[in-house]
Chain A
C-alpha cells in the first residue's frame, strides 16, 4: 500500500512537470531522474509478474477446448475480464508444442505453434519487436489503472512490459521453426472462435 502511494507520488512528480525525461537529466524535476515506469517494470517483472503468471497459468491446449465450449464460462473460472463490453477475457497460459511456421519478415513477428500434434497451428506466439495488446499488464491484478495518472502512463507500462518480455525471447537469428518449445505467457480472447494470440514471457526450446 505504501509502495503504491509512493509510486503514484513518483508518477505525479514526473508527469506534472510536463516534460519528457531527457538523457541529460537537466529537466529540473527535483532529482527524480529515474523513469517510474521503467522502475516499476524492473522491480516487478521477474519478481512478481512471472511468478503470478506461472501460478495462474492454464494449459493452453486444455483451455482452448474449454473456450470453444463457452468463453464466458472458461473466463469466469480461469480468466480476468478487462475492458468492458469491447474487451475480453485475459488468461495466463502455458503450453508446449512444435513451431510449424515463423514469420520474422514483419516487425510484428510471430511463431505459429501446434499444440495437439496434428501439424496445424493452434495458437500464435508474438515475438516482437512490435507487440499487439497489453495482456501482460492486464492479466494479473499487479497493475491497477486507478493508481496511474492517466491512460498515457498506463499505456506506457503496457508497452514497457511488452518490451521487457521481447528482450527475453529467442532472437531472429535463432529460428524456431520445426523446434519443440515450452512457453509461458498471457493472452486476451474476445470470441470463442478466435485463434489465441499469446504474448510470451518465456519461450524455451526443448532439448
Chain B
C-alpha cells in the first residue's frame, strides 16, 4: 500500500516534472518545495528559484507542502524517485523536516534551505534565511520612532508553530521593552491571517480605545488590522508590518500603514539555486551552511522601489 502510494506519487511527480519542462530534454532537474503559493511571499520564492534554475540550464519540479510535514515527506520521496540533482526547500517544520532532508542526503541529493531554519546542522548543504531578528529590530526601531517613544500599543503575533513568529516577537520586544513609556496593552495571535487580524483588531479597539500603535508579525495581519482601524475611523493609529508585500507597499504609499520590513525572498531563492549549481558541479559551495540575509526597512522613503519582494537600486 505504502509502496504503491509512493510509486503513484513518483509518477505524479514525474508528470509534473515533464509538464514543467516541456519534456523535450533530459536535462538535470532541481526540485523547488515551498508552502502554498496562496501567500505571495512563497510564490516569489518559488518564482525566484525557478527563474534562476532555468537560467542555469536546469529543469524544475515545483511542489508545495502546504505546511504539512507528512506531505513534505511524500514530496521528498517523489523528488528522490525522480532523480533530482538538488532540492530547494522552504520547510514545513524546524524539527519535523530534519528526517526528510536527511533521507535525501542519504540518497546523495543535497538540500538547500531558504526562509526557515531546521534545528540540525550538517544535514542540509545550505540554510539561507532572512535575519528575522534583525528585521524585527529594524521594524521596532521605526515603530518606536513613529510612536515618539511613548504610548499604548498592541501586538499581533503569527502562527505559534512557526519559529519565525517567535523570533520576530522577540526582536520587537528586545527593542520596545527598553522604552518604559511604551505600554503593551494587548498581545494576541491572528495566525498570519488577514481576516483573523481584522476581528482581533476590532476587539482590541473596543477594549483599548486609547491605543496609539499596532506592531504586526507579518504584512497580511497588518493589512487586516489597518482595515479594521480604518472602518472604525482610527486611521491615526500607527501600523507596522513585516515581509514587504506589494499590498503593504501600496498602503504605505497611500499614507495608511507606516512601515514594513522587506525579506529579500526572491534574491534568497536565487542564491540557493546558485549554491546548488555550484555544489552539483564542484561538490562544495565554498560558503558556511548557515547564512543570514539582512532585511531592509521599507517606509514612505523607499516604498516606490519595492516590487514582489525585491528592492530595485
Contacts and interface: CB of A to CB of B under 8 A. Distances in A.
A16 B127 CA distance: 20
Contacts of A155: 133-134, 167, 170-171, 174
A191 B129 CA distance: 23
Contacts of B175: 130
B295 interface: yes
Contact of B129 (A85, A149, A151): A151
B37 to A, nearest CB: 23
B152 interface: no
A41 to B, nearest CB: 16
A84 B292 CA distance: 7
B120 to A, nearest CB: 10
Interface residues of B, number: 37
Interface string B116-139: 010101000000110111100100
A83 B290 contact: no
B267 A159 contact: no
Helix, strand, loop or mixed for chain B's interface?
A: mixed
Interface residues of A, number: 25
A131 to B, nearest CB: 9
Contacts of A145: 288, 290-292
Helix, strand, loop or mixed for chain A's interface?
A: mixed
B293 A85 contact: yes
B264 interface: yes
Contacts of A108: 141
B66 interface: no
B152 to A, nearest CB: 18
B88 to A, nearest CB: 16
A132 interface: yes
Contacts of B295: 86
Contacts of A65: none
A151 B291 contact: no
Interface in A106-140: 106-108, 129-130, 132-134
B271 A151 contact: no
A143 to B, nearest CB: 12
Given A106-B149, A151-B132, A152-B167, A87 B294 contact: yes
Given A84-B291, A86-B293, A155-B134, A149 B271 contact: no
B167 A87 contact: no
Contacts of B67: none
A205 to B, nearest CB: 26
Contacts of A132: 137, 141
A90 to B, nearest CB: 11
A173 interface: no
A55 interface: no
A69 interface: no
B87 interface: no
Contact of A146 (B121, B132, B170, B294): B121
Contact of B288 (A146, A151, A154): A146
B167 A151 contact: yes
A129 B178 CA distance: 8
Interface string B156-172: 00000001001100110
B291 A150 contact: no
Interface of B: 94, 117, 119, 121, 128-129, 131-134, 137, 141, 149, 163, 166-167, 170-171, 174-175, 178-179, 262, 264, 267-268, 271, 288-296, 311
Closest 7 CB pairs of A and B: A83-B294, A84-B293, A86-B294, A155-B133, A87-B294, A146-B290, A86-B296
11 contacts: A83-B294, A84-B291, A85-B264, A129-B178, A132-B137, A134-B134, A149-B119, A150-B163, A150-B167, A155-B171, A159-B174
